[in-house]
Amino acid sequence: MGSHDPAQLVGERLVAVEPTSLRVRYPRTVGRNARLGSHGSGFPTTAVTLRTSSGHSGWGLVEGRIHDLQQWVGRSVTELFHPDVGVLEKTAAPLDFALHDLVARIFEVPVHELLGGQGTRSVPCYSGAIYFDDLDPEDAPRGISAVLENCASDWAAGFRAFKLKIGRGFRWMDHDAGFARDIEVTRAVREAYPAARILVDANNGYTPAETVDYLRAVQDCALYWIEEPFHEESSGLGMVRDHLRESGSDVLIADGEFEPDEQHVLELARRGLVDVLLMDVCSFGPTAWRRLMPTLAEIGVLASPHAWGQPLKTAYAAQLAAGLGNIATVEGVPGSTDGVTGEAFVLRDGAVAVPDASGFGLRLTASRGVA
Ligand SMILES: O=C([O-])C(=O)C[C@H](O)[C@@H](O)C(=O)[O-]
Domain ranges for the chain: 6-109, 122-359
Distance 249 CA to ligand 1 centre (A): 25
Class of domain 6-109: alpha beta
Task: Please write the tens of the pLDDT for every residue from 275-310.
Answer: 999 999 999 999 999 999 999 999 999 999 999 999
CA distance 32 to 165: 9
Distance 245 CA to ligand 1 centre (A): 28
On the question of a common fold for 6-109 and 122-359, the answer reads: no
Cβ of 331 less than 6 Å from ligand 1: yes
Distance 26 CA to ligand 1 centre (A): 14
In this predicted structure, what is the pLDDT of residue 1?
41
Burial class (CB in 10 A: 0-12, 13-18, 19+), 68: exposed
Cβ of 201 less than 6 Å from ligand 1: yes
Cβ of 132 less than 6 Å from ligand 1: no
In this predicted structure, what is the pLDDT of residue 88?
98
- Residues of the chain short of pLDDT 50, as ranges, are 1
- Please, are residues 337 and 312 in contact by the beta-carbon 8 Å criterion? yes
Distance 258 CA to ligand 1 centre (A): 9
Residue nearest to ligand 1 atom 7, measured at CA: 308
Note if the bond before 141 is cis, omega within 30 degrees: no
Cβ of 204 less than 6 Å from ligand 1: no
Cβ of 127 less than 6 Å from ligand 1: no
Q: Is the pTM of this model over 0.95?
A: yes
CATH of 122-359, one of 3.40.50.1100, 3.30.56.10, 3.20.20.120, 3.40.50.261: 3.20.20.120
